[in-house]
Chains A and B, each alone.
Chain A
């Protein structure tokens, strides 16, 4: 039974299709392991008995032509799931049960998958360590008291710990790629507009994207095929010809040109990260691809730009959480009192901080100096990539400036926390796809990731490069099940 949870998504699908395993067996295995893993605190809501019921129902009349036949899956608690509590990691939505489903999760259920439960995350996706969640920190399965990254910390932890064969997270400034790097798994943030944002609790509308978080690139490609779709209900959804990402996956990247941006070599970059990047360059060459030095001159301005644009949009997106229609409401003497109490009690400190930043940068007298300026710099950042892509097909960088840090280590210094996103943020600002693959370990034995950034809508090429490199890297995640009693 325990072997089931060690299998990759592709293996499980094959076994179910070959009738070697039933959905019930598979689902029960993941439920059992999840139940033993409460110390990780990866789940906010468990839907285990319903999952087993659905698995049984699937087995009665299995449709084996589906892409995810009877596969149990937990998802980040930012996706609205019909009739299952959806909290966004926040007290203000702790009593909220949607009557509707997000498009991305609907796509997944349509292909036969079964909801296991909702995974913990930083509150409203704001954070890089899963420490801002109302439901408490998540443990990184790599080691005790280590953060799993964020905001999709519950997701990355659950996949690395094999509580779910695969999952989806969301990425606004690195929230899929950074936790993937911290937990030794694969995380893909697709091109902006590739996956529908309908039914995903919005953080920063021009940056948010849903994406797969998996144990390997093949699994990642498979899930991406399912979740990437054009959705009329999302005006920023893009109708482009999507590849059969899984079917067309190849490790042949001979002749591809991979760019190495010099500006990513930041001051004080730890030697381990530098070494990992160099190794990555070697792997690329091993695959028959070519290394080209490029420049992305405005890289250093990406983080400040992000910390204007994202909070600005968030301050407006979170205005709807006012205690009037749904969610937590505090008693107030009058309407304004009710608003103020509801929002200061319902939102955690980081969310309140970002709402304040966002409100300030949009406010009268500051709009031009901050928000407008940031949108202009964003244009420059995007131009940098457009220029670079005239010479190269993809770009290789480290995913994070360090491996996972200890819980509590950075909570007192917001800026130091923000610096976690230094390599991932430019990708969101430019709307490009980016993938993090585990590429090595640091001296402590903690995983380190390499990021590959692709051209817009070019996920196939991106996945191929990741696939080829993954094979060369041959990464083994060191999971000891320390949390299981």
Chain B
């Protein structure tokens, strides 16, 4: 890794500032039921239809922990190459809010289930390691809806009690780009593991962003502000830019930074202070007496390790070594498990280089245009594989293949059939081509002479004519070869 990395700096007249960022990512655990209660976690249900007696904090109700959520947290910890704590404790975080029915959130304070780990980012100028401080399990809160009524807030408790993993990074991030890569990597790892679907539009993944600034070269940390509940990567980046500049402006002006909690206003693209009360942060954590410490055995953890699939970093390494892909190509193909599976299926019976180019190029472009995930691709891996083979064996040219591809996007058809039905087979018979070429040369005697006397540019003209006359079906390679001979 080169030391002269392109750094993200905030420039002012006489000073340069670097930005220090730490993220607390809240990832909703993929599970059927909630962390401490047996109601459903499905997204999009009618308000208050997925609320159990425990979720509504009725008198006498008690929490019972979901084993699957524990497993999901441990698996995520394994994916983050982190220390799994065999003994962890659930604490109550006490505060009052309308969407917090118990008047406390069950979380983990001093003894989280997962300890230190790390995530490797693939940045344009090399790899960067971002430290993970810890991961813990906690309950999500319900939703407060403020805009249905001028005087009142409406509360929907469907989300209350859903299991969240809070992943706390060390303050190792230094730019909005790194934050982008970090969140995407985290998301990718969890999707591979199946522990979180990373669907930011549905709120499965959100982050509190901690931002501070310091003069370039300084080793001390500045005062940080926390921007709460940012639910898209784009907003995170915008919030960081705004906040870093705001802090720098204050420092340049001789003022100090107040440590505070802020919100990102998505309409004005700026951060603003939440009305802070002195007592806002006294959560009076204490171990939840309705629960006992969580203890997992080595055996329990080992069994989970066996369930871990090949993760992005390992897969990328394998793709580079086995398939001779470039790091750039490998990174893209392993970014999620579905894409890498698709790729591996395509190359089972077809050329790796072509497959790589077609997937990263044509397929991704077409899917993006139609706003589809690869799992929703109209073209199956098998059929894309067939298309690639048709190119490889010369049945069609690369150009024709694009046309066939377009037809395939309309509905998953066998490319061979399309070629036949539409008569798109390329003409590769040398004799037939010779005849065509002879005719073209004949019809263009003058230009042929000009070419022979040095006007090499006219080669393209001849190629074009041959293609025109053949209806685009002439095998371009052969045409080139034969034309060269004849001219």
Contact = CB atoms under 8 A, between A and B. Distances in A.
Please determine if A and B sit in direct contact within the complex, based on CB atoms under 8 angstroms apart.
yes
Most chain A CB within 10 A, of B60, B98, B103, B282, is at: B60
Interface stretch (B61-69, B235-243, B380-388): B61-69
Contacts of A62: none
B404 to A, nearest CB: 60
A319 B100 CA distance: 10
A197 B62 contact: yes
A96 B56 CA distance: 14
Interface string B282-322: 10111001111000000000000000000000000000000
Contact of A86 (B59, B65, B98, B292): B59
B59 A98 contact: yes
Given A98-B58, A200-B60, A205 B153 contact: no
B286 A202 contact: no
Contacts of A482: none
Contact of B282 (A315, A326, A364): A364
Given A313-B289, A363-B282, A335 B60 contact: no
Given A206-B289, A235-B291, A363 B62 contact: no
Contact residues on B (Cβ < 8 Å of other chain), bracket: 20 to 34
B223 interface: no
A195 to B, nearest CB: 13
Interface string A323-334: 011100000000
B59 A233 contact: no
A312 interface: yes
A277 interface: no
B65 A235 contact: yes
B101 A320 contact: yes
A88 interface: yes
Contacts of B339: none
Nearest to A318: B103
A372 to B, nearest CB: 9
B282 A205 contact: no
B483 interface: no
Contacts of B289: 204-206, 236, 313
A371 interface: yes
A99 B60 CA distance: 12
Contact of B58 (A197, A318, A326): A326
Most buried by B among A232, A319, A335: A319
Given A102-B60, A232-B64, A339-B96, A325 B101 contact: yes
A235 B290 contact: yes
Contacts of A316: 92, 94, 103-104, 284, 286
Nearest to A336: B96
Given A363-B282, A364-B284, A371-B286, A88 B59 contact: yes
Given A235-B292, A319-B102, A312 B64 contact: no
Given A235-B65, A319-B104, A335-B98, A80 B60 contact: yes
A316 B290 CA distance: 11
B484 to A, nearest CB: 82
A324 B155 contact: yes
Interface in A91-131: 93, 96, 98-100, 102
A147 B284 CA distance: 36
A428 interface: no
A199 interface: yes
Contacts, number: 96
Nearest to A196: B62
Given A100-B53, A364-B282, A371-B286, A201 B153 contact: no
A450 to B, nearest CB: 30
A319 B94 contact: yes
Nearest to A313: B289
A393 to B, nearest CB: 28
Contacts of A315: 94
B60 A201 contact: yes
A206 B101 CA distance: 21
Chain A, interface size category, equals 35 or more
Contacts of A93: 59
Main secondary structure on chain B at its contact with chain A? Answer: loop
B283 to A, nearest CB: 8
B409 interface: no
A408 to B, nearest CB: 30
A235 to B, nearest CB: 5
Q: Which of A93, A204, A364, A371 has the most CB of B within 10 A?
A: A364
A459 interface: no
Given A236-B290, A236-B292, A335-B153, A202 B57 contact: no
B196 to A, nearest CB: 25
Nearest to B103: A319
* Residue in B57, B286, B292 with the greatest tally of chain A CB atoms within 10 Å: B286
A38 to B, nearest CB: 27
Nearest to A198: B62
A367 B286 contact: yes
A205 B105 CA distance: 16
Contacts of B64: 232-235
A198 B37 CA distance: 13
A171 to B, nearest CB: 16
A198 B60 contact: yes
A466 B98 CA distance: 49
A320 B292 contact: no
A143 B422 CA distance: 106
Nearest to B288: A205
Contacts of A322: 96, 103
Contacts of A198: 60-62
Nearest to B155: A324
Nearest to B153: A335
B62 A234 contact: yes
Interface in B379-401: none
A320 B102 contact: yes
A412 B57 CA distance: 34
B94 A233 contact: no
A320 B286 CA distance: 17
A199 B57 CA distance: 11
B62 A367 contact: no
Nearest to B36: A235
A313 B60 CA distance: 14
Interface in A383-421: none
Looking at B94, B104, B155, B284, which has the most chain A CB atoms within 10 Å of its CB? B284
A315 to B, nearest CB: 8
Which of B53, B57, B59, B284 is the most central at the interface, judged by chain A CB atoms within 10 Å of its CB?
B59
A200 B59 CA distance: 7
Contacts of B61: 198-199
Nearest to A372: B286
A235 B63 contact: yes
A336 B98 CA distance: 10
A86 B62 CA distance: 17
B141 to A, nearest CB: 13
B187 to A, nearest CB: 32
A202 B153 CA distance: 28
B59 A202 contact: yes
Contacts of A320: 57, 59, 101-103
Contacts of A185: none
Contacts of B59: 80, 86, 88, 93, 96, 98, 201-202, 320
A132 interface: no
Interface string B72-111: 0000000000000000000010101010011110000000
B350 to A, nearest CB: 54
A468 interface: no
The 5 closest A-B pairs by CB, nearest first: A319-B103, A205-B289, A362-B284, A206-B289, A199-B60
10 contacts: A100-B53, A198-B60, A200-B60, A205-B289, A206-B289, A232-B64, A235-B292, A236-B289, A339-B96, A362-B94
Interface of A: 80, 86, 88, 93, 96, 98-100, 102, 197-202, 204-206, 232-236, 312-313, 315-316, 318-320, 322, 324-326, 335-336, 339, 359, 362-364, 367, 371
Given A199-B60, A324-B101, 5 more contacts: A98-B59, A206-B289, A232-B64, A324-B155, A325-B57
